[in-house]
Amino acid sequence: MSAGTALEHATERVLMEGSEALARASVAAGCRFFAGYPMTPFTEVLEHFAALLPDAGGVCINAESELEAVGMAWGALATGARAATGSTGQGLSLMQESFSEIALAELPLVIFNMARGQQDYFQATRGGGHGDYRHIVLAPQDVSEGVYLVQVAFHLADKWRNPVLVYGDYLLAHTQEALTIETVDFGPLPAKDWAVDGTRSGTGMSANVTPLGVGKHGQPVFGQEGKFQYIATKTPLMEREVRFEQGSIDDAETVIVAFGSPAKFVKYAIAQLRAAGHKIGWIRPITLWPFPYAAVADAATNPSVRRIGSFELSAGQLVDDVRIGAAGHCPVEFIGGVSTDHSGFGVGRMLDVDAIAARILALHEGRDQPIVPGYEQFTYAIQPHQEAATP
């Protein structure tokens, strides 16, 4: 199917891959500027923005690198436009300084991470920039939810004047679904009276968008310390945007926490295990930040729950937040692992319902976890000088 015009299929159900659907949802949400640098599996997202934005009166730039891309997006945001950028985790690593500055400048950036697995969880939820800042992070489980959450992302970015990151992956980018993409109305937002859009030129009331706490005539002046304190008071308020779903918790003896594309496989595996008589439930964080700590705490203090598992395609990152939520009320075990194809960014052998079910059942029955495919070959051997802990 050709890309067509930006709103050509707005009310028609059309089969399209995730990359196109995310771009179309962004245009429907009012995004009119996008800049990025191609890197699989993000490349197709950039290509679809390039095809769609001109017909919508917008601009897409294939930048020289990720550094230029995020800088271009910053400039567009400062004018009041809805703007976005993105990459894979490797490309987003180059953008971290700008991400922290953009958050401290209170600019509503939307970021797409079409990640190579789930090894960017720490990057997404903790960040690699400087200062006290947070990104709201949304993790769709499939393309149809991604279409909705992309529009949520643009709304939340403007609502809180804060970056919002959409955490996708190779599967989300390349799976096809039949979709209808329509603009979601979340209600009005205040005018962007802070924007540097040229309307105040010559009035003596020009605007200034900066993370430094300085201001111009007629603007509040925080100073560096005051700006940091101001941002710190806003962050806890953003935690009310927590989103999650859960199932089969009431009688569960084992609860599995998973997010993103793998969570859909986990839910299906658990449905099969419950049909076989195993009392297993699940929690899916939709926001990775703010994290649904209360939901995990409720599960951990449920008298029937004996254990919680964290299934993720990484060496163990989500599990840290699961343990914080459980707060020692019941054991938390990591049951995931690194799993990818030989390219390093595709779908690995562990993203399989039977493999997932085997790991969940092993946890549920108190058995050792099956070996993650590939770990038999690629296992670090401890060296003689590493045998004993350093005193």
- The string of pLDDT tens digits covering residues 312-362 is 999 999 999 999 999 999 999 999 999 888 888 778 889 999 999 999 999
CB 120 within 8 A of CB 92: yes
> Alpha-carbon distance 64 to 97, whole Å?
17
> Alpha-carbon distance 388 to 391, whole Å?
9
Query: pLDDT tens digits for 160-203?
Result: 999 999 999 999 999 999 999 999 999 999 999 899 988 877 77
244-364 and 14-179 share a CATH fold: yes
> Alpha-carbon distance 340 to 12, whole Å?
35
CATH number of 244-364: 3.40.50.920
Closest by CA position to 311, among listed 345, 344, 338: 338
Token pair of 3 as six digits: 């890309």
Strands 244-247 and 280-285: antiparallel
> Alpha-carbon distance 216 to 275, whole Å?
65
The beta strands (E) that lie in 176-311 are given as 176-179, 244-247, 254-257, 280-285, 287-289, 307-310
Amino acid at 127: G
**HSE-up (13 A, CA, CB side) for residue 61:** 18
Low-confidence ranges of the chain (pLDDT < 70): 1-11
Amino acid at 232: A
- Asked whether the bond before 163 is cis by omega within 30 degrees of 0, the reply is no
The pLDDT of residue 161:
97
DSSP state of 317: S
Token pair of 370 as six digits: 């099956």
> Alpha-carbon distance 348 to 38, whole Å?
22
Amino acid at 156: L
The pLDDT of residue 10:
52
CB 137 within 8 A of CB 101: no
Q: CA 328 from chain center: how many Å?
A: 27
CA distances from 374 to 296, 350, 378 (A): 31, 10, 6
Show me where the domains of the chain are located.
Answer: 14-179, 244-364
The pLDDT of residue 374:
82
CATH architecture of 14-179: 3-Layer(aba) Sandwich (3.40)
> Alpha-carbon distance 15 to 261, whole Å?
19
